[in-house]
Amino acid sequence: MTDAPGQRSKLRFVRHGATTANLLGLRCGGDLDLELVEAGREQAEEAARRIAALHPPVSLIVTSDLKRTRETAQIISRILGEVAIVLEPDLAERGLGEWNLRSIDRTQPWLEQGLTPPGGESLAAFDKRVARAALRVLAYLPDRPLLVGSKGVGRVLGELSGLSSRLDLDNAALVDFYLGHLRTRGAS
């Protein structure tokens, strides 16, 4: 059976399971490498069960090198029958420098103003990095990949896929992105 045309450009994405910072409502950027908490591991297992029921099945997992995304990917891989995992470091969350472990409520206005965190990564640099990584991930589309990433990476992928509203994904949320148009558009 061949995939429908839209299926060939579909990238399944799941946000990593919860960390301590997530549960406390604190910022956790890509320059803060936290592990999952037990609730996050349970979320990853539940996401894996949802993913296992999808068709066509996932045959490859792509993730950043952050502990929280790798651990989520490993849990999903195990439940799916040891699906291969590929690391793509450029899919790490935005570096938040001095905003790490600060209240999301307190820092959200700064992000909405487009400010760059002291010691962190600019929004433009983060968006460009994720877009370049997404172009590399396109090579894996025939393998029906699952991308395990962070909230910010999901936001950028949503923008790249043409979503009109900003994504705000919960831990272990699953969404499909259609990215085939990036081949011709590129990630400038």
Its pTM stands at 0.90
Tell me which residue of 30, 187, 50 sits closest to 99, measured CA to CA. 30
Residue 132 has pLDDT above 50, yes or no: yes
181 included as an active-site residue: no
Q: Please give the single-letter amino acid code of residue 49.
A: R
Q: Which of 16, 71, 88, 121 is catalytic?
A: 16
What's the mean pLDDT in 30-51?
A: 97
Segments making up each domain of the chain, as ranges = 14-185
Does 173 have pLDDT greater than 60?
Answer: yes
- Distance in angstroms (rounded) separating the CA atoms of residues 17 and 38: 9
Average pLDDT for 31-36: 96
From 45, 46, 71, 93, the catalytic residue: 93
**Mean of the pLDDT values across residues 29-39?**
96
- Residue 68's Cβ-side half-sphere holds a number of Cα atoms within 13 Å equal to 31
Mean pLDDT in the chain?
Answer: 90
Range in 16-25, 154-163, 175-184 with the lowest mean pLDDT: 175-184
Confidence of residue 82 (pLDDT cuts 50, 70, 90): very high
The average pLDDT across 47-55 equals: 94
Provide the percentage of residues in the chain whose pLDDT is more than 70.
91
So what's the pLDDT on residue 141? 87
Q: What is the pLDDT of residue 6?
A: 45
> Averaged over 23-33, what is the pLDDT?
96
Q: Using DSSP, state whether 1 is helix, strand or coil.
A: coil
Q: What CATH number should be reported for the domain whose range is 14-185?
A: 3.40.50.1240
CA 27 – CA 48 distance, rounded (Å): 25
CB contact at 8 A, 78 and 161: no
Tell me if 88 sits within 8 A of 62, measured CB to CB: yes
47-71 mean pLDDT: 95
Task: Name the nearest CA neighbour of 72 among 117, 20, 129, 16.
Answer: 16
* Residue 55: active-site member: no
Mean pLDDT is lowest, of 10-14, 101-105, 121-125, 176-180, for: 176-180
- Residue 175 pLDDT level (bands cut at 50, 70, 90): very high
